[in-house]
Amino acid sequence: MCQGLSYNQTIVPNLLGHTSQREAVTRMSFFNSITQSVCSVDIRLFLCRVYAPECVAGQVRRPCRSFCENAKRACEGLMNSFGVSWPHELQCSSFSEDSCKSSNEPTKGENCSAWLHL
């Protein structure tokens, strides 16, 4: 799902604590039909930035709260129509709005080491 994005390096464990890209792929498979429906132009990139966070200059770039809210707002209705709720692990309140204000600034203190294979 994350192939062909504008980045090719990520971190393991990811933002949700998945310890391998294989585990992340398994968890992301839940969203395959959602991303194919194109309910939001942001959903694929948002999910990839959570499950396979972008790394820039060796630092993690986290998704921000408003990016999450845009993806959720656009896709939550479709998910609800299938009897599925927005996942608790992706609650937008867990993402900082600060990273939106400085979207080009990667998070300090985390080092990237894995090449993206998702």
pLDDT digits 0-9 by tens, 24-56: 989 988 888 888 887 888 888 899 999 999 888
Residues 100/66, Cβ–Cβ less than 8 Å: yes
Structure confidence at residue 113 (pLDDT)? 60
Collapsing DSSP to helix, strand or coil, 10 comes out as: strand
**DSSP H helices in 18-64:** 21-28, 32-37, 43-51
pLDDT digits (tens, 9 = 90+) for 66-113: 999 999 999 999 999 989 899 999 999 999 887 664 444 444 445 566
Cβ neighbours of 4 (radius 10 Å): 7
Supply φ then ψ for residue 9, to 5 degrees: -130, 140
Return the SS3 of 17.
coil
Confidence of residue 115 (pLDDT cuts 50, 70, 90): low
Peptide bond into 87 cis (omega under 30): no
pLDDT for position 100: 66
